[in-house]
Chains A and B, each alone.
Chain A
């Protein structure tokens, strides 16, 4: 365990950004936080969470897959991937850290998504333990410990100091890299903070959220529940929940005709969108009810069914704060609770 005074945070960032990119949560000018490429003097946001999760480092909102260049009737095929730079994402919360293992199950399973894999290999994740959880947090329901995040290296921030501990090889490399600005640290303040946060966790309004009614084996009961109708009735069909979600991984592949050729790219899709999974014959989920149900069934039933019981939600609470009509996974779970018994 190493530490540094928060007064010297900029030095840490400077060291971390050496020879690569460093991303930290920074205020975006509209009062919210987003991961931003660090430049000298940039301060870290005090916010608990960024609006968008950290998944975009590995699974960007839009990503070029292949370029076709046309000259007259000739077509040239070009792989547009250029990234080779290593990067560090600093200040990832426990919930987001967990999301990477969920995304890995999707993208690194056979067939491996090489675009994702390459970014994953280039990235080092430095997480930050939570000290001030909010009312919308329910990560504990999904087995996430906000005081002990996963990640290549883990940080703890107290009043005036930052503690850092490497967890993986990449994490050790990171700590090595910035070691010049660190001093040896004592685990006591960290433990004290953990204990304090553990005091707060049971007081969170959603502390008692239960996943008992959900899982891979609950398919039919839940699928046919009549309650989906009222739950989905007011859904606007926007993609806010999906796009702020750290685990949503659906994408669409589109072609953009540039005038000189075609750029094939993928972009985040949302199961809430009316053209989600639209195929040549049309759309298999024609109503908002079906699309709405898909999102929650995927997280609470289909995903665990295919991944040894692991749920596709990390309880970050972003959808709770961001849904325009305040419909969210918690309300869905509470409403459907008991349906499967």
Chain B
């Protein structure tokens, strides 16, 4: 069979905090809620563990979108982690936007352990957004794209 028309499948990296969002992702699975396989989750203890370096690294290595999920503000397992993460990501995303990187490629979403449905919905929506944007060209590293 001939594979016709190469459909663009984005690569999406999702950083999920262990206590809320990763559990939320598990719940989405337990409830059999579909979202695209383009999303790959990396477990971190807390959203405040996410270093801007990781996000840039993902783009360098070929990610088309990066999303960070954490506990809702105020519900952080470590009390304050997501508040710091929120400031860091706000500033980082604003900077990426300022440098002309499409702002829709980065996102933060707060997903609790009980919000499996929200997790799936968020991922569906994010994948759709990134798919529309197409391949990440503005923050790519050509060396990593050569196959």
Contacts and interface: CB of A to CB of B under 8 A. Distances in A.
A263 B143 CA distance: 8
B6 interface: no
A259 interface: yes
Contacts of A260: 144, 146-147
A249 B28 CA distance: 58
B62 interface: yes
B115 to A, nearest CB: 33
A260 B142 CA distance: 12
Interface in B79-97: none
B61 interface: yes
Contacts of B144: 258-260
Interface string A247-282: 000000000101110010000000000000000000
A256 B61 CA distance: 12
Contacts of A258: 143-144, 146
A263 B145 CA distance: 12
Interface residues of B, number: 6
Interface in A91-113: none
Contacts of B61: 259
B63 to A, nearest CB: 11
Q: Which residue of A256, A258, A260, A263 has the most chain B CB atoms within 10 A of its CB atom?
A: A258
Nearest to B141: A258
Interface string B54-96: 0000000110000000000000000000000000000000000
A260 B143 CA distance: 9
A142 B63 CA distance: 52
A258 B146 CA distance: 8
Nearest to A263: B143
Nearest to B142: A258
A256 B143 CA distance: 9
Contacts of A259: 61-62, 144
Contacts of B146: 258, 260
Interface in B128-147: 143-144, 146-147
Q: Which residue of A259, A260, A263 has the most chain B CB atoms within 10 A of its CB atom?
A: A259
Contacts of B62: 259
A256 B142 CA distance: 12
B58 to A, nearest CB: 12
Nearest to A256: B143
A316 to B, nearest CB: 33
B28 to A, nearest CB: 28
Nearest to B62: A259
A326 B147 CA distance: 46
A186 B147 CA distance: 57
A260 B146 CA distance: 8
A258 B62 CA distance: 10
A260 B141 CA distance: 13
B80 to A, nearest CB: 35
Contacts of A263: 143
A114 B99 CA distance: 39
B41 to A, nearest CB: 19
Nearest to B145: A258
Nearest to A80: B146
A2 B14 CA distance: 65
A182 B47 CA distance: 68
9 contacts: A258-B144, A258-B146, A259-B61, A259-B62, A259-B144, A260-B144, A260-B146, A260-B147, A263-B143
Given A258-B144, A259-B62, 9 more contacts: A256-B143, A258-B143, A258-B146, A259-B61, A259-B144, A260-B144, A260-B146, A260-B147, A263-B143
Interface of B: 61-62, 143-144, 146-147
Q: Which 8 A-B pairs have the closest CB atoms?
A: A258-B144, A258-B143, A259-B144, A263-B143, A259-B61, A260-B147, A256-B143, A258-B146
